Amino acid sequence: MNEEKKSSGTRLRVLVADENPRRGHALSETLHADASLDVLTVPPDKALIDAVRDYGPDVVLVDLDRADRDALDSIRALSCSALERPVALFVDEDDVDLMETAFDTGVCSYNVLEALPRDVKPLLRAAIALYARFRRTRDELTEAQIALAERRLIEQAKRSFMKNEKANEAQAYRWLQRRAMQTSRRIAVVAEEYLAAQKKDEAS
């Protein structure tokens, strides 16, 4: 037996397998705060299965974007995987919400078979919370980009209208606004259509 593993006693060994280094680092930091945890990460060039074999974790928190997750599915079925303590996908049949939220958020957990749900669930919850926060930041960023692009379209359409109709800026904006209201569409959509129509006219 591996003496080091034995001597670690009741400390839970957690392996963080995240393709996103920034998020992986943040998750490790969060878990480090708990003194009962030994937190390890998968180095960038190491296959997940090799890390699991070498580090012998009790719990593996896995980013669903990792393509090498399939190797973990095989541990029980492949006799030659030579793992002392086989791990399997953590599934809580009684907590469908937690499971669906985990998969929705993009993280799951594999555990050694003897790990207890009460030990695993807080870790999975922590990972879900962190993943959700990262996703929110990304979504906010995307939304900001969309808003910016829309504003640009509206500005462009306004300028085009001013030139074509010899109108001022307020008139141009009112025209777009009215048209948006009449057709119950967003002003950016109307602006885009207006620009497309102008382009067509120029081409013909």
Partner 1 sequence: MNAPLRIGVLKLADSAPVIMAQQKGIFAHHGLETEIIVSPSWANIADGLAWNRLDAAVVFAPLAMMTALGHRGHGAELRPLARISRGGNTIMLRGINPASGVWQAGSHGRNAFDIWRNAIGRKPRIAIVHMYSTHLLILRRFLKMIDVDMENEVTLSVMPPADMIHALAENAIDGGCVGPPWGTEAEQLGLAFQVGGSATVLPGHLEKVLVASRKLLACEQKVSRMSLAVQEALSFCQKPTHHEEITQALAAPITDGGLLLPPASTRTILPGGEARECVTFSEGTLLPSDLDWIISDMTALEWIGEVEQQMLKRWSGPIPAASSPV
Residues forming contacts to partner 1 in the complex (CB under 8 A) are 47, 49, 64-74, 77-80, 88-91, 93, 99-100, 103-104, 108
Q: How far is the CB of 113 from partner 1 (least distance, A)?
A: 11
Looking at beta carbons only, is 91 or 144 nearer to partner 1?
91
Q: Which of 56, 200, 62 is nearest to 131 (CA)?
A: 62
Burial class (CB in 10 A: 0-12, 13-18, 19+), 84: exposed
Alpha-carbon Rg for the chain in angstroms: 27
Looking at beta carbons only, is 78 or 197 nearer to partner 1?
78
Q: How far is the CB of 83 from partner 1 (least distance, A)?
A: 13
Looking at beta carbons only, is 111 or 173 nearer to partner 1?
111
Using CA atoms, how far residue 184 sits from 7, 140, 189, 190, in Å, is: 69, 26, 10, 10
Q: How far is the CB of 109 from partner 1 (least distance, A)?
A: 11
Answer whether 41's CB lies under 8 Å from 20's CB: no
Q: How far is the CB of 93 from partner 1 (least distance, A)?
A: 6
